[in-house]
Amino acid sequence: MYAGMAGLHGAGLSTELAWQLSLTAVVTLCAALVLTWMGPWIRRRLAAGGVAAQRVLAGGWIALVPLFALGLLKTMAESYAPVLYAKF
């Protein structure tokens, strides 16, 4: 059991898990990981820029609020019970 958790049985997905992952979910996850790692580099580049770059850096979080709301809506639409222990 622990060998499978460490990835020693290969990198493939089981059939029980593969049907739950869509291409959109995998691409979104990969893009989020890349952007997370690039975040400090982007912040340094914007901090060294001019006035327009400073405005983007200060107001960049505004673009994340609608994306967060869309992510919540998508999660709620795809889940059977959006609230933990909703049946109790």
Q: Which residue has the higher pLDDT, 5 or 47?
A: 47
Position 81 pLDDT exceeds 70: no
pLDDT of 22: 78
Return the pLDDT at 85. Answer: 63
**30 vs 43: CA distance, rounded Å:** 20
Residues 15-44: tens digit of each pLDDT = 777 777 778 878 888 888 888 888 888 878
Per-residue pLDDT, 25? 79
pTM above 0.75, yes or no: no
Distance (Å, rounded) from C-alpha 7 to C-alpha 1?
Answer: 10
